[in-house]
Amino acid sequence: MKKIILLTTGGTIASRRNPETGLLSSGVITGEELSQMCDLPDSINLTVQSVLQIPSNQMNGNRLYKLKHTIEEIFQNVDVDGVVITHGTDTLEETAYFLDLTIEDDRPVVITGSQRGPEELGTDAFVNIRQAILTAVSPKAKKIGTLVLFNERIFSARYIKKVHASNVAGFFSEGYGYLGIVDQEHVSIYQRPCLRESYSISNSFPLVDIIPSYLGSDGRLLQASISSGARGIILEGSGRGHVSPELVPFVEEAGKKGIPVVITTRADEGEVRHVYDFPGSVYDLTNRGVIVGKDYDSKKARIKLAVLLAANKQIEEIKESFLI
């Protein structure tokens, strides 16, 4: 018999309609209630443990650490085959990538959620939980890091992104696709990540800001980030990673203060690279100490930079890590 631990954190997947407003209240249905509706095979021994009961817009660094430590404690039991986490969809991709970078165990960690509440017509809550559990018991899901199961598809945590606000096919990996599928009882993995990173973190989750560059943007937001104590900054540029030239002096200021700055692109696909030479180009920024964010989107780059800082990595080590 396979032993799976289901960790609940709230979200739409645990929501119930508020009779006074007619709107959903997230995180009010227990994991025990949800699991009883999933028609699991008798070969699976499921234990439910509530970690949080929140909408995922309330997820923060301290709660990420709590979830991480809970998983590590569970994996001290060699009889556990895997962990499944239910999570709100708004920040699911960020939590998934944090765990991917910080959980070293080879056993599966699978995160899922739903776009429709359990009591709504056409809910995806129960099928997503069921298929996440089936993924977690599959030997094929071992040694590939934290996974996301959504709408029958299995995704890598690094590239998963919420691409639709409400549709049940709400998640995808632009440019890379999904790793596999769950078809009724059958789990299939068609591709696996070539590399897997894992970092031991000892410090609290550091303050890392995302600063977008847009047509006509100036340096006010970047200046505010620097002056308010940010430990790291993600610049979300356009195209190949270009920013407004008005941001450049503040990029230099961040460098002088020892604050690592990573440049990403707001484009859904493609990499940040040296292609152009003008003020605010990637070439210009890297000459001023900015770290190239390759194909990371801004949210994933923020999680990675925060993890690297919490792991006490220095600037050169951070640069190397973002090349992976």
Q: CATH number for the domain including 220?
A: 3.40.50.40
CA atoms of 71 and 180, how far apart (whole Å):
24
Which of 127, 161, 189 is the endpoint of a domain?
189
Confidence of residue 91 (pLDDT cuts 50, 70, 90): very high
Domain co-membership, 177 together with 248? no
What value does the mean pLDDT of the chain take? 95
Assess if residue 194 is contained within a domain: no
Q: Which of 158, 201, 160, 157 is nearest to 62 (CA)?
A: 201
Rounded to two decimals, the pTM is 0.96
Burial of 2 (0-12, 13-18, 19+ CB in 10 A): middle
Cβ atoms 16, 28 nearer than 8 A:
yes
pLDDT at 214: 96
Catalytic residue chosen out of the listed positions 8, 9, 12, 89? 12
Domain co-membership, 147 together with 268? no
> Per the structure block, which two tokens stand in for 296?
């990371």
Assess if residue 203 is contained within a domain: no
SS3 state of residue 170? coil
Burial of 108 (0-12, 13-18, 19+ CB in 10 A): buried
Domain co-membership, 107 together with 179? yes
Domain co-membership, 184 together with 212? no
Using DSSP, how many helices (H) and how many strands (E) does the chain show?
9, 16
pLDDT at 215: 96
Which of 189, 221, 252 is the endpoint of a domain?
189
Across 283-315, b (16+ Cβ under 10 Å) vs e yields: bbbbeebbbbbbbbbbbbbbbbbbbbbbbebee
Residue 126 phi, psi (nearest 5): -75, -40
For 226, other C-beta atoms within 10 Å of its C-beta total 21
The count of structural domains within the chain is 2
Assess if residue 67 is contained within a domain: yes
Domain co-membership, 20 together with 116? yes
Domain co-membership, 162 together with 214? no
Domain co-membership, 111 together with 242? no
pLDDT at 296 over 80: yes
For 231, other C-beta atoms within 10 Å of its C-beta total 17
State yes or no: is 12 an active-site residue.
Answer: yes
Cβ atoms 118, 15 nearer than 8 A:
yes
Domain co-membership, 185 together with 212? no
Cα distances from 48 to residues 11, 29, 45, 119, 182, in angstroms, run 16, 13, 10, 20, 22
Assess if residue 113 is contained within a domain: yes
Domain co-membership, 69 together with 176? yes
**Structural domain of 227:** 208-321
pLDDT at 324: 86
Domain co-membership, 68 together with 176? yes
Per-residue pLDDT tens over the stretch 157-184: 999 999 999 999 999 999 999 999 999 9
CATH code assigned at 151: 3.40.50.1170
Domain co-membership, 59 together with 123? yes
Per-residue pLDDT tens over the stretch 32-71: 888 887 888 989 999 999 999 999 999 999 999 999 999 9
> Per the structure block, which two tokens stand in for 54?
């929140």
Assess if residue 29 is contained within a domain: yes
Percent of the chain with pLDDT over 70: 100
